[in-house]
Amino acid sequence: MKAKEYYETIKVVEETFCFEAALDHFNERIRVDYYLGNVPDLVKKTEMLAQEYQYTKLIIKARQEHLYSFLHAGYTIEAVVNGYFQGSDAFFVTRYNSQDRRNSLYWSKGDEIVAAVFKTDTVKEKMIPEGYIIRKAAKADAGKLAGLYGQVFQIYPTPLNEAAYVEKTMEEGTVYWVYEKDGIIVSAASAEIDFSQRNAELTNCATLEDHRKHGLMKELLKQLEKDLRSQSVYCAYTIARSLSYGMNAAFWQLGYTYTGRLTNNCYIFNKLEDMNVWVKDLSKGAS
């Protein structure tokens, strides 16, 4: 599946409102990332697009002052990202056009994992074994990164198994850090930076199975945080699989705060998965 079949970004400008959104064909959802103007008119347009494309989920990143308007329109708050809009909070409000999409089959399991994560203490730093080299990725690494993601994720919300797509994300400002061993990239993570709103999503975290438990991912995330601070981006957040104890624990141990869960948010592996939101204010210093 090519990138354009996964999703496309759109800008809608009408007399009473404007917004920027992603038409996420692969995950059957529309996501409004930024908007201005009349909220009821915006809601009508968003729902019209959802019906046109037969999407089952609608997500809008809402400003706090507009929450009542979205609740009145039938939206529900699922998560918050503190500092998302140039220091102001963003609330992820959602609506569903399908009862199956609305109901999670794994919610209780997700609760159990979060509860277990909260009971863990910050662990001692692990010594990275010899032979692992950490570095910032370049465009020349696009093929190796695509190979890594293709091995780790058989199904993923974006076509990261395609070198051309990985290179495109780099051109658009996404920063990747990797661990390499014997010339092979064995672990990677990225930061998708929104310079207009001064926030970044830490995402695309993947480690080959034989190289897990060395603490590679936590070190990559720390390097990404340093990169963001150097560019005066202080709002960092991630959307992690609710069923992944390891990833949720990694962000908890790095000082991120759990702020909600997105129901049946995207396809990973062989099913729609709930995603936990974790947020960190990088202006408070290093991990």
Residue where a domain stops, chosen among 65, 100, 135: 100
Q: How far apart are CA 144 and CA 200, in angstroms?
A: 23
Distances (CA, A) of 27 to 20, 97, 260, 268: 18, 13, 20, 10
Residue 69 has pLDDT above 80, yes or no: yes
Residue 132 has φ and ψ, to the nearest 5°, of -95, 130
pLDDT band of residue 6 (cuts 50, 70, 90) is confident
Structure confidence by residue, pLDDT tens digits, 241-265: 999 998 999 999 999 999 999 999 9
Tokens of 258: 């759990």
Q: What is the pLDDT, as a whole number, of residue 243?
A: 95
Structure confidence by residue, pLDDT tens digits, 156-205: 778 899 999 999 999 999 999 999 999 999 999 999 999 999 999 999 99
Tokens of 24: 């996420």
Residue where a domain stops, chosen among 100, 126, 150: 100
Same domain for 119 and 179?
Answer: yes
pLDDT band of residue 123 (cuts 50, 70, 90) is low
Tokens of 133: 């080299």
Per-residue burial over 4-37, b if 16 or more Cβ lie within 10 Å, else e, is: eebbeeeeeeeeebebbbbbbbbbbbbbbbbbee
pLDDT band of residue 126 (cuts 50, 70, 90) is confident
Domain span including residue 141: 107-284
Q: What is the pLDDT, as a whole number, of residue 1?
A: 44
CATH label of the domain that carries residue 114 = 3.40.630.30
Same domain for 141 and 159?
Answer: yes
Same domain for 59 and 162?
Answer: no
pTM of the model: 0.93
Which residue from 245, 8, 9 is spatially nearest to 114, judged by alpha carbons?
245
Residue where a domain stops, chosen among 100, 131, 153: 100
